[in-house]
Amino acid sequence: MSWKIARSADDVRETVTEAIRDGRRVKAVGFGHSFTATAVAKDVLVDLRRLDRVGRVERIDESSGEVEVEGGVAIADLNEALALQGWALANLGDVAYQSISGAISTSTHGTGVRLTGIAGQVRGLSLIDGTGAEHRIQRSDGDLFRAAAVGLGSLGIITSVRLGVVPAFVLSAVETPMRLDAVLSNLDEHVAENDHFEFFWIPHTGWAITKRNNRTPDPASPIPRLREWWQKSFLENTAFGAVCRVGRAAPGLIPRLATALPSSGRVAYSNASHKVFASARRVRFVEMEYAVPRAACTEAVVAVRKMIDEKGLRISFPVEVRFTAADDLFLSTANGRESAYIAVHMYKGTPFESYFREVEAIMRGLGGRPHWGKMHFMGAAELEPLYPGWNSFLGIRRGLDPQGLFVNDYLRRIFGLTE
């Protein structure tokens, strides 16, 4: 395999043209956050991390509220560049070290039932297709745009993205332990009454940690530095990592260790939105996440809790639950429906397949769609009925990549491709 570093759209086009000439396949990669093999390459891997110019952020179109950046820019860098100009993305995921093209291509989201995921904030993009041609794709392009905004790297290589942005805002954050049953019994109210609501259920306990993030006109009031170190660095990373290591070595201790996780108490602070949305994740894990119809959320969480108890599984990681609005993008996990996202994790080096397969069976029974950047075991036969625009997407994919230049084994599996 050859490794190519792209610093411009011309570099990408040249690499694609060479691969066509030599009969080789190409994949693009950003920061490697995905847990799937969507970016695995056998022939040519294009590294987009130097395709990261954010200079255009200084020329935000204030009349339209749009900004264009190169496809390899890290979301963390984009957030800082926007903040310097008094702008922000309306919604973000909880990690910021992804590239913007990777985040939209895998339907990365955040939480907030009145807001879409990141791909729903895209207004246009530039893409080099499987013939070496460049496309400037706008929302007005209809089905072509609906396919390209969440394309899994199968349509081409995204060299730039135009995003809708909003004036910078401060989020007030309140993190509080609650009994899981209380969260679920009032779930609609929690989701409706907060701009951004999520919760983490701690297996083997009746507790959940809730997070309520709401816009505020008040100035930012961050956590004092020492308290921030204690809460965000020590408790959420160092101490939690130690709990996971002990649990991996002695799984029988996990239920007892789990009781310590909700003990940190209520935490309240406010800060610039991007500093509240994203947090450091230093504990290594593998992850599966499914999007189910919002109305099925409680049923899904209750079923996962029951399954863990009945199977006698020992799970040290909380189960994360978030919510987004519907959108119209063909392969978005929120296509056509308000969605609840249920994410399960296992600490690195811990057997995970039996747990993940059991969770997947529950989610499939509720019409769940797998997050494209997280682990799952589904193939084309199971996926096709979940997406009304599935065949339209495949037709557009064939048109943009007729020789399967961007196809790898993972894409063959999920799309049922033979080329």
Instruction: For residues 136 and 176, state if they share a domain.
Output: no
In a domain, 332, yes or no: yes
Nearest Cα neighbor of 385 from 368, 397, 360 is 368
Would you say 46 and 99 are in contact if contact means Cβ atoms under 8 Å apart? no
Task: Answer whether residue 195 is part of any domain.
Answer: yes
Q: pLDDT-based confidence at 251, cuts 50/70/90? A: confident
Residue 375 counted as domain residue: no
Question: Domain for residue 76, yes or no?
Answer: yes
CA distance to 46, 48, 177, 179, 236, per residue, from 200 (Å): 36, 33, 9, 11, 13
Same domain, 188 and 206: yes
Judged against a pLDDT cut of 60, whether residue 57 lies above it is answered with no
Measured in whole angstroms, the distance separating CA 219 from the mean position of its chain's CA atoms is: 29
- Using the predicted structure, report yes or no on whether residue 135 has a pLDDT greater than 80: yes
Q: CA-CA distance, 414 to 254, in Å (whole number)? A: 35
Mean pLDDT computed over 317-328: 97
Per-residue pLDDT, 266 = 85
Phi (first) and psi of residue 112, to 5 degrees: 140, 105
Q: Are 406 and 27 in contact (CB under 8 A)?
A: yes
> What is the C-alpha to C-alpha distance for residues 198 and 56, in angstroms, rounded to an integer?
33
Same domain, 140 and 287: no
Same domain for 185 and 231? yes
Q: Are residues 221 and 266 in the same domain?
A: yes
Mean pLDDT of 69-80: 95
CB atoms within 10 A of CB 382: 14
Residue 64 near residue 91, CB atoms below 8 Å: no
Task: Tell me what pLDDT residue 221 has.
Answer: 93
Tell me what the pLDDT averaged over the chain comes to: 91
Any bridge partners for residue 136, and if so which?
126
Of 55-59, 93-97, 240-244, give the range with the top mean pLDDT: 93-97
pLDDT at 121: 96
Given a cut of 60, whether residue 43 has pLDDT beyond it is yes
66 shares its domain with 134: yes
Please check whether residues 247 and 182 belong to one and the same domain: yes
Distance CA 109, CA 87 (A): 19
Which of 6, 107, 72 is closest to 371 using CA atoms?
Answer: 107
Question: Tens digit of pLDDT for each residue in 12-30?
Answer: 999 999 999 999 999 998 8
pLDDT at 403: 94
State the CATH number of the domain containing residue 130: 3.30.465.10
- 396 within some domain: yes
pLDDT over 60 at 347, yes or no: yes
Q: What pLDDT, on a 0 to 100 scale, did the predictor assign at position 53?
A: 85
On the question of pLDDT at 257 being above 70, the answer is: no
Same domain flag for 230 and 342: yes
Percent of the chain with pLDDT over 70: 91
Q: Mean pLDDT lowest for which of 129-133, 275-279, 318-322, 409-413? A: 275-279
Rounded to whole angstroms, the Cα distance separating 32 from 74 reads: 11
Asked, for residue 376, whether it belongs to a domain, the answer is no
CATH code for the domain of 351: 3.40.462.10
- Amino acid of residue 314: R
162 and 124 both lie in a single domain: yes
Q: 407 and 335: one domain?
A: no
* 290/3: higher pLDDT: 290
- Average pLDDT on 253-261 reads 68
pLDDT band of residue 59 (cuts 50, 70, 90) is low
In a domain, 318, yes or no: yes
Is residue 184 domain-shared with residue 162, that is, in the same domain? no
Any domain includes 252: yes
When pLDDT is averaged across residues 145-158 and rounded to a whole number, the result is: 97
Lowest-confidence region among 38-42, 266-270, 321-325: 38-42
Backbone torsions φ then ψ of 298, nearest 5 degrees: -60, -45
Amino acid residing at 119: A
pLDDT at 230: 52
What pLDDT does residue 229 have? 56
Specify the number of domains making up the chain. Answer: 2
Q: What is the pLDDT of residues 194-250, one digit of tens each?
A: 999 999 999 999 999 999 999 999 999 998 776 665 566 655 666 666 666 776 777
**257: containing domain:** 170-370
398 and 364, same domain (yes or no): no
